[in-house]
Structures are given as C-alpha cells and as structure tokens.
Amino acid sequence: MAKNYDQLAKTIIKDFGGKDNVNSVVHCATRLRFKLKDEKKADDDALKNTDGVVTVVKAGGQYQVVIGNEVADVYDAVLKEGGFSGGGEVPDDYGEDDNSSFVDKAVALISGIFTDILAPLSAGGIIKGLVVLAAAMGWLSTKSGAYQILYAIGDSIFYFLPIFLGVTAARRFHMNRFIGLAIGATLTYPTMVQLAASKTVLGTLFAGTPFASQIHTTFFGIPVITMNYTSTVLPVLFAVWFASIIEHWSKKWIPSVVQMFLVPVVTMLITLPIAFIVIGPVMTWVGDAIGAVMSGIYHFSPIIAGLLLGGLWQVLVIFGVHWGIVAVTTADLAALGYDPILGMTCMVCYAQIGVVLAIIKQTKDKKLKETATGAFFSGFLGVTEPAIYGITLPRKRPFILSCIGGAVSGAIIGAFHSVLYILPSMGFFAIPAYINPKGGSMTQIIGVIIAGVVAFIVGFALQMLFGKKSVDAEYDKKQSEKAEVNDALQATPDVATATLVSPENGKIMSLSEVKDDVFSSGSMGKGIAIEPTDGGLHAPADGKIIMTFETGHAIGMKTKTGAEILMHIGMDTVNLQGKGFDTLVEKDQEVKAGDPLVKFDIDLIKKAGYPVTTPMVVTNSKDFDEIKQIAQGNVKVGQAVLELDAPEAKDAAVSVNGQVQLN
C-alpha cells in the first residue's frame, strides 16, 4: 500500500479524467466507489497498475477502485484533493419490511433515535436538577448570573431537543443529517417561538370545537397555527420522516450534478411549511384531546384518573403529546387558581428509578451498570429521559413495570386530592408546587410524598420479582456464545501459532466460489469464505481491530502473529447502509479469538436481495510462505480453518491447558 495517500489520491483522480469528471465518490470496506460523468475518460489500465490500487472493477454503474484496509484514509485524501463533499451516499432499501411487530419497530426506532444523545441528556438532567436544588435551598439566587449560566448548561439540550433529534432521526431515516438538523433548528427558531405567543390574532381555526386554535400568521394565505416546539419530540420526528420521503423522491429526478444543493432546497421548502401548517398542529391537537379526556375522567374519579395518567405519562412524554396535559394545567391555573391533572404525574419518575436501581443490582454487565447508575442519579433529580431511552424502554418489560409503579403513584395523589397551585418543577422539586399559598391542611403534601416513596418501592419490587430475565438477555447471549467458542477452541488443542479459526457457523467454501471477482480472483488476498447459518461474526484469532464501518458489513483486524484479516459479510451489502448490522467492537479494540464482532440479520439481508457469503481473506498474504485451508464442509465458530506458514511466527505461540496463547 502506498504510504503517500495524497499522491495516490492525485493519481486516481487524474486517471478518472480529473475532478470535473467525478459526479460522486463513496467508500465501503475495501473500495472507493466512483460515479463518473464520462466513463470513457477513465484509464482502467493505468489505475490497475497504480501502486496502492489492488484492482479496478466496473459494476452497478460504478467504478470500484479496490484499495484494501486503508480505504478510509485514501477516501479522505481523495475528498481533500478533489474538493468533493463526500455526499452521494449509497442508497439503501428504505422502507423494507421485516418480521418484527409494530411495537418492536416503534421501540427500536425511538430507542435508536435517542441512543446517541443519552450522554448529554443525562449530564443535562443532573446539572439542571442540582441547579434547581441549589436555588430551592437558597444557596443560589435565581436572578444571579451563576444560576442563569448553569441552568442554561443543564437545560439547553432539553430546550433545543428538536435540533438534536433532527440529526439522530435523519440518520435512522437514512437522509442527510444536516437537513434533519436544519428542520429541528427551524422549528425552534426564535421568531417562530415568539410568534406562538403573539397577541396579534388573525382569527380562530375550528372555532367552537375542542380543536379551536388561534391564527397568528399565514403562509401565502394559508392559515398557520404557530406553536412553541421547543422541548418537543413528535413534531420533529414526523417532520424528518416526511423529509426523508421528499429527499429520496427528489433524488430520482434532480440531475446528479446539482443534487448537492438542489435536493436540500426542495426537501426543506416542501417539508417545513407542511411541518408548521399540518404536522405540528396535529400533534398538538392529539395532546389537547388527551388532556381533555383526562380532565373529564378526573371529575368522574380522581383515583381512576390517577391510575390512567400516572400509568400512561411516560408513554405520552415519549411521543411528545404530554403538552396537551400541560396546556390544560395552564388553563386551569389561570381560571381556577389550581390544577388537579398534571399533579398526578410528578412522582412517576420515582417508579422509573426504582426499576433502574433494581437493574443496577441485577445486571452482570459492567457497562450497563455504569450507564444505569448515571441514569439513576439523573432520574432522582427528576429527569428520566436517560433512564427511559437508555435502560428500560429498550428492554420493554422494565419500562412496563415502571408504568405500573407510575399508575400507583398517580392513584395515591388522586386519592389525597392533591392539586397544583403553580406549574411544577421535577421530582421532589415539584413538592412546593402543591402548597396552597392561602394556607390550609398539609395533607395534600403528605399524599405527594407518600406517592413518591410508594412509587419507588413498587418499581423496585416489581423489577426484582418480574423483570430480571429481560435485564441481561443480550449480555447472557454473548457470554453463552463466548463459552461455546472456548469449548470449540479447547476441542482443537493442536492449533498452530498462525492458525485462523472460523469466524462463523456455516459451510466453508473456497474463495474461487465467491460471486465477486475481487474476492474470487484472490486479488485481495488468499483465504476462505463461509456461507453462514446464523447472524454472528467472531474474531478468528487474538489481535486488534484496525477497521470498522458505520454500515457494519465488514471488519478488518490484525492478529498478534501479524496477519491482516478482512471479513466481509455478504456481497454489496454496503448498500443496506447498516440496516441489519450491529457492530459490537470499535477500532483499536483488542479482541480474543471467538469474541463477537458483528451481529447481523441473515433474513433481512437475503430479503433485500443480497447473498450473505462471508469471505475471510489475509490481505497481506505475500508475508506468508503458504496459506492452506485445513477444514471442509460444515464448520463451527472456533474451529481451525486456515493455516498460515510464516517463518517469523513459528515460535510465537505456546499451549497452556490445551488452549492457544498468542504472544
């Protein structure tokens, strides 16, 4: 591989007819994939003879320049040299259905959208809670600069949540992330926020109905119901989903030479007016309807209302429709001086952290224990998003158990007829909001405190009794796989120093049988391929991960004996853009033979029309005297499949208790 990537990038671009001849360039695990304006200008022979280029393949409307493990570095050099944007992502089969249920899909989607922002959510929650506590205790004046700055640090991610969600939702919907960011930013644009509170009223839409809404402005004569979308969830998620449809549609008819700027223009000009005119108001009306229903139930029975609202509150928050309840509360406080509805939800957070504390005690996974501990302290201060999205919701049952605990807390508050006299804060910081400024009995306050304590106990007890199996399901599966691999390794005690074991369960085949010229020709290196029977890729030896991809379809590693290994799951699976793949390791991570590397969905990949044949090649084959396949037929993870004969590696291993130890 050429050491000077800049020079290699110049050569590649020159042999493709110059940068003006390049429409787009992307890269996968081993190849640069170019789309050219005029393919006749490409000098295939010159490219193939370039130091650092393994070979050149023309397929699927692309010129594929096979580089090898260093492809990411060469790609960066090509972008820099050509001044390319790096756009032109390989399209995936967006919208492809699978066999999971609607609930599973919804939970996976929501959890995936929030996963990347769990750390700042948790940090913001803890900081915000501590600042509010300091103010409540009189240690910090709410008018001081210190309070305002610290509160801004803690509250910013919640206030501008649509911006963060715009980015993460765009990734889940496979569209340009910066367009998603722009959608979130527009929804929280200061002018639009101020317009929602404007005293200028042009009229009322749906007057005389539960959906009556004031009109503050118009869009080319179309009435716009301006809302305050800061801290909301559902409007931006639906807007980004709609934008992803518009983006994919626009790419079909806009010429590729102008897609870079015209696709965002079309996407944003169509999406955002519809978001303000239709999507945002509809989501708000959904919340208003829920608030009206809960108010009616409360007047029928406070206990039943508490059960329902306390049990459903976290679900309403997840989908962002809880603002309808807040709207009812604001109206009640203005008209009556108190509100009985929102007050039934303020202790739900303690049911959530009761479940989280039980999970901390139950889990054997150190990473989960650390994450849950941070979420517990954040939730104790009243901010439960990290606990919900990072801990309980992905495991489903713990989340349901926390909802049951929340229902109990709401019923207790309803039974004590505890009501709010001001808009509440979070957790125990909300308790002062239940104090009647005109004086009177403290029974309502006692009821709220009891509700919080009982919610915590119920959540903890339910999780300890009924939720343990769901806590470490994935962790236990990984440990079981490791145990099976160790058994397989122990069953082959004669494994030599430079021996690679099977990374998958399945049928072994020679590289020449692979339906891809780059692998079957051996130009990438010698090795074997496996037709897997399950969706797990494992390390074939002890070593270090040297290459991973967001798409998850390939892994590169270097063994302790010096072999550079590339494992590529399926053919052209880069087109799935990560759908169906879950990479379990990171670049530079040390791994042992048999450690899980990638989890993939065979059925999904096959349904999308791609083979799952997995080549495992030694990309530095020239460094070995001989590379010999030593297994036939069906193989299991951990079974020896390749023997690498390298003089410098012959004395690099010793056997201890029947297991291979790589030095």
Residues with catalytic roles: 28
DSSP letter at 388 equals I
For residue 331 the two structure tokens come to 């109206």
Compute the chain's Rg from CA coordinates.
29
d(CA 273, CA 282) in angstroms, rounded, equals 14
For residue 326 the two structure tokens come to 């807040």
For residue 161 the two structure tokens come to 């949540």
SS (H, E, C) 49-107: CCCCCCEEEEECCEEEEECCCCHHHHHHHHHHHHCCCCCCCCCCCCCCCCCCCHHHHHH
Cβ(356)–Cβ(455) under 8 Å? no
Please report how the helices 177-187 and 234-253 are oriented relative to each other, as an axis angle in degrees rounded to 10: 140
d(CA 467, CA 403) in angstroms, rounded, equals 13
Query: Regarding beta strands 554-559 and 614-618, do their DSSP bridges make them parallel or antiparallel, or are they unpaired?
Result: unpaired
HSE value, Cβ hemisphere, 13 Å, CA-based, for 538: 31
H helix count then E strand count, the chain: 23, 24
Selection from 229, 140, 138 nearest residue 190 by Cα? 229
CA dihedral defined by 454, 460, 461, 465, rounded to 10 degrees?
A: 160
Cβ(103)–Cβ(367) under 8 Å? no
Helix (H, G, I), strand (E, B), or coil: what is residue 197?
Answer: coil
Start-end of H helices in 160-279: 161-172, 177-187, 190-196, 234-253, 259-274
Cβ(530)–Cβ(509) under 8 Å? yes
Selection from 252, 259, 424 nearest residue 338 by Cα? 424
CB atoms within 10 A of CB 441: 8
- Residues composing the chain: 663
HSE value, Cβ hemisphere, 13 Å, CA-based, for 39: 9
d(CA 646, CA 663) in angstroms, rounded, equals 15
Selection from 85, 237, 231, 100 nearest residue 173 by Cα? 237
Distances (CA, A) of 579 to 94, 433, 473, 553, 602: 9, 47, 22, 9, 11
List strand residue ranges (DSSP E) for 481-638, in order.
499-501, 506-510, 526-532, 536-538, 543-548, 554-559, 564-568, 581-583, 590-591, 596-600, 614-618, 626-629, 634-635
Per the DSSP assignment, residues forming a β-bridge with 499 are: 643
